[in-house]
Structure 1
Amino acid sequence: MGEPVYIDALGPAGPYRSRERQPLTALTGAQIGEISQVPALYVRRTFAAMRGSAVMPGAERLAALTKAADLYLDATIGGLDPDGYAQLVSTASGVPLAVVRQSVEWVADVLRSQRRTLELAMPRGAVGDWRAPQTLAGSAVWTRRGDLFAVHAAGNTPAVHGLWPEALAMGYKVAVRPSAREPFTAFRLVSALRDAGFPPAVVTLLPTDYAVADVIIAEADYAIVYGGQDVVDKYRANPHVLTQGPGRSKILVTADVDWREKIDIIAGSVSHLGGTACTCATAVLVEGDPEPLAQALAAMLGRIPSLPADDPEAILTVQPTESAVEVDRYLHTVAADARPLLGGDTVVDELPSGGSVLRPAVHLVDSSTAPQLNVELPFPCVWVGPWHPDDGIAPLRDSLVLTAMTTRSDLIDDLLDEPSITNLYLGDNATVWLRPGIPHDGYLAEFLMRTKGMIRTGV
């Protein structure tokens, strides 16, 4: 890997290498660098400086975000050019190189799209500046709920960093706690934003341990946290924390649709981004006999090759073998009476170059109420089962994305009205479809902004 990589904190006074550091390792277990672990005192001093900093004017924020997109894509940052950065992310995290590059492009597109995203998210009856002529006669003004936004980033893919920059566009100061598994994207993106014009006290990077991470959440005005169901449960009652947990995204195929014409879309929904995204389909429900679809899906996913993460053709995620074995062991436990059509023996495929590929798994369940349909794992793992109209929409609840392959308008109405289905896609649209300006889990602005009534004279 060449020279060691150091992920330092990026505070209001510049980079800071703490006395306490943790090793960064490659999939082989070899140490490739170190990441600082800042103490709570450093966090509190950082937050004080951030709260005391001025809010950048809106036009300057949007211009800096656009410039940051170019720097993030093309600049040499922290000694790493774009190719070196992508290789490092892939080698260290096991995310396929093609997925890294696709995710990087996505983040850049999001940065460039912030003006349009804010326009789409802002209520139609509001204005973004109190100086707008509408406030002379009385209008709603769109304003921040707070000042400081904290991010507990995930390490699935670089694409997870496509959401929080919206907070900068709204005028928030943002503190990012990077993933220990893949801190390189957070470091690169925060550095690019600062190089593009955001003052150091407006966007910071605070690598730290779990105990101090709780301090970051507690002392920020608002926060976004990524994790499993345990994280969702931990913060469920905190209205200042937005959780990004399991997606449990699903596909429904009703009898009026020929699934054989959709199998490529279904397989892509399962395997996209190595199956690690919360939008990847983890359950497919079929009106009628689900086994033919499950068999076809298993055959298609089974043809995906096992390759090292840095191979340009790689699709599947690589993990340290010990971690992959733990995932496989858990899969066998939760599968219980489900019938395996793919991956039944093992999903672990050890590579000579180090680490193990997590290969796809397809299981058949016998009921739309099978508990496995709500099990999400960090690789292409899908449960296929039967659905009948009498089952209603209950088996489809709690889905970040539901792709409904149906022509039944009454069913579509019911699905759209169901509060626990966050996004509804119809027809030939994979669960992983997403575009800048389209809400992921609602607009982030729904969480961070509010309207205030205003009328003015003589100002």
Structure 2
Amino acid sequence: MSATSHLVRLDALGPSGAYRSRNVQTVNDIHGAPYAELSLVPPLFVARTMAALRKADPLPLEQRLDAIAAAGRAFATGTVGGLSAEEYQHAVCRVSGLPWVTTEMALEFTAQYTERAYLSSQLARPAGAVNDWRDPRTRHGSGVWARRGHVFAVHAPGNTPSAHTLWLQSLALGYRVALRPSSREPFSPHRWITALRDAGFGPDQVALLPTDHATADEVVRGADLAMVYGDDEVVRKYASSATVLPQGPGRSKFLLTKDADWTSYLDTVVSSVSAHGGAACINTTTVYVEGDPAPLARALAERLAALPSLPPQDPKAVLPVKPLAEARGIERFLLAKAAGTTPWLGGDGIVDDLGDGTAVLRPAVHQVARPDAPQTRIEQRFPCVWVAPWSPEAGVAPLRDTVVLTAVTDDEALVDRLFAEPSIANVYLGDHPTYWLPPGIPHDDYLESFLMRTKACIR
């Protein structure tokens, strides 16, 4: 038996089926031990795959909706690609360090999203448009909702498996999809493409294209439209492109004005910071308080300090785990950036050594002196929150550049300004966590606003 025969094989999935490349990337677990082998494809393979996707016709609507729903059920509960749902969870936790609760939430949401993929997409259709030129309304003139292209590429994220529910709606609309997985967590993308193929999508409909960094842009260039996840640098790289939708840091925020008794909302603030292991863009990065923020910071720190430190595969795990050296690097970065703030939790460090070469990233709570403190823009992939003072004089400026803002306030004029601010994507009013995102609710606008356009038709 070879030394690598026990590793999980994650082959590329191209137009001719599974492809085992000679260029293989070893995926290590959080202990540094090899766990999987990811086949990396060359530019020519990408080009051939994109050409096959472009030539293919979409499945008929009912057939593709049934296939999406079946794939969702298999992803959540079945054995896919040789891994049961529980084995898949173990793989994700062991390699990415995401806590067990994060994978549980992803599986729970999967069936909900896939059963409603088409209905959710229809919520974005303009009221004046129909789905098909054959609709009777086009006889007198109407808009027809149509795809902007045929092939949609996704550079998948590795921070949470739940992110994959977003691009599934493109399949419901008839796009063919090429998915480039993150090497930090390649199991979810591989499981999705495998489940979709098992459910009836052909190899010329959906593809998995693992690549090295040098080839990654070939996936984007070969598609009509693409969605790319990454940091601020990625957002800047693609900001001027009409065919690429960058998905960057969320910097989600929570605002409590003086008319709100923060003690009544503490549970929601805590969960907004810590759900998903604090790794999602819709986790709260900064809490703004009108008045003295210290009492809330103290209470928030007390609650987050009670979260357990456990290995990620433990069913009660809620905090992420990293290799010890990587965790120490994250800790050094945080402590350097937090200099000058008031630490309520994590001021002496956030690394909890598990004694096996890995460490839990413990929560951190720091109070800053100004609403525009530079720390409020620092988003981490664990429960790390900055608590800042806010006043009406500070206005909307500190709240900008936000995927989700939960505002607890009776000030309707302020709410008007929040909705009018272009850089705030979503505004939740009252007792709603920033991670609230059921099917049909736009994440950062409806994805369909990017994928679709409206054509005039009269016949």
TM-score band by shorter chain is over 0.9
Superposition pairs of residues 8-407 of structure 1, within 5 angstroms = 8-407=11-410
How far apart are residue 65 of structure 1 and its match? 0.9
Q: Secondary structure at the residue paired with 1:76?
A: coil
CA contact (8 A) 1:38 1:207 kept: yes
Equivalence for 1:420: 423
How far apart are residue 352 of structure 1 and its match? 2.6
- Separation in 1 of the partners of 2:185 and 2:14? 19
Q: Secondary structure at the residue paired with 2:393?
A: helix
How far apart are residue 346 of structure 1 and its match? 0.8
How far apart are residue 205 of structure 1 and its match? 0.2
Q: Secondary structure at the residue paired with 2:104?
A: helix
How far apart are residue 409 of structure 1 and its match? 1.0
Structure 2 unaligned spans of 5+: none
- Separation in 2 of the partners of 1:364 and 1:335? 9
How far apart are residue 221 of structure 1 and its match? 0.9
- Separation in 1 of the partners of 2:130 and 2:84? 41
- Separation in 2 of the partners of 1:214 and 1:255? 48
CA contact (8 A) 1:308 1:353 kept: no
1:368 partner amino acid: P
Q: TM-score, normalised by structure 1?
A: 0.98
- Separation in 2 of the partners of 1:312 and 1:86? 10
- Separation in 2 of the partners of 1:68 and 1:369? 45
2:223 partner amino acid: A
1:394 partner amino acid: A
Aligned residues: 456
Q: TM-score, normalised by structure 2?
A: 0.98
Q: Secondary structure at the residue paired with 1:262?
A: helix
RMSD: 1.2
Q: Secondary structure at the residue paired with 2:315?
A: coil
- Quick one: percent identity of the two aligned structures? 52
How far apart are residue 75 of structure 1 and its match? 2.2
2:128 partner amino acid: G
- Separation in 1 of the partners of 2:191 and 2:5? 18
- Separation in 1 of the partners of 2:364 and 2:447? 33
Q: Secondary structure at the residue paired with 2:154?
A: strand
CA contact (8 A) 2:145 2:454 kept: yes
How far apart are residue 226 of structure 1 and its match? 0.8
Q: Secondary structure at the residue paired with 2:234?
A: helix
Equivalence for 2:412: 409
CA offsets, 1:130-177, max 9 Å, x none?
111111111111000011110000111210111111111111110000
- Separation in 1 of the partners of 2:298 and 2:348? 16
2:456 partner amino acid: G
- Separation in 2 of the partners of 1:420 and 1:395? 11
Structure 1 unaligned spans of 5+: none
- Separation in 1 of the partners of 2:123 and 2:224? 24
How far apart are residue 107 of structure 1 and its match? 2.4
How far apart are residue 412 of structure 1 and its match? 0.8
CA contact (8 A) 1:362 1:383 kept: yes
Q: Secondary structure at the residue paired with 1:431?
A: coil
CA offsets, 1:32-73, max 9 Å, x none?
121001000000011111111112222222111111111112
How far apart are residue 336 of structure 1 and its match? 2.3
How far apart are residue 366 of structure 1 and its match? 0.7
- Separation in 1 of the partners of 2:114 and 2:436? 18
CA contact (8 A) 2:118 2:173 kept: no
How far apart are residue 74 of structure 1 and its match? 2.3
Divergent runs of 4+, >6 A: none
- Separation in 2 of the partners of 1:30 and 1:325? 19
CA offsets, 1:419-456, max 9 Å, x none?
11100001100111110000001111000100000111
